[in-house]
Amino acid sequence: MSNGHHHHEVKGTTTISDSVVASIAGIATRDAVGVYAMGGGFTRTLGAARDMMARSDDVTRGVKVEVGEKQTAVDVDVVVEYGYPITRTTEDIRTGVSEAVESMTGLEVAEVNIDVLDVHLAGSDDESGESSRLR
């Protein structure tokens, strides 16, 4: 069934930059259940961590990628919400990142390495920025 248009393969190359892969991986990581924050230095800034996370436009924070011609490797640093099984959260991250990156870029995800930097206890953030124990 031809509609009169002939489709021929147009030659050319497509290059997907590291930052594109890092953005996709970062968004997929944030979507994983149990992820509180990404990157280092969050839990020490008591109070503002959740707000910073919500307002942060940098989806690549805590994400490092290596992109080859056909494969990519992803490293992510996360802070996990207390009470969530870390093994389930990291499996969720791996699955989400590999599915998102592979479907959007066509690159095979060789590995997703996850560094769990800390655990965040809900309600431990304090408006004044200091622990309530120290008052």
Has residue 121 got a pLDDT over 50?
A: yes
Structure tokens at 110: 């060789």
H runs (alpha helix) in 1-135: 18-30, 49-55, 86-105
> Tens digits of per-residue pLDDT, 13-35?
888 999 999 999 999 999 999 99
Full-model pTM: 0.76
Q: What is the pLDDT of residue 131?
A: 42
- Which H/E stretch holds residue 67? strand 63-67
Structure tokens at 24: 């996709």
Q: What is the pLDDT of residue 135?
A: 47
> Tens digits of per-residue pLDDT, 73-113?
999 999 999 999 999 999 999 999 999 999 999 999 999 99
Q: What is the pLDDT of residue 28?
A: 97
- The span from the CA of 64 to the CA of 121, in Å, is 26
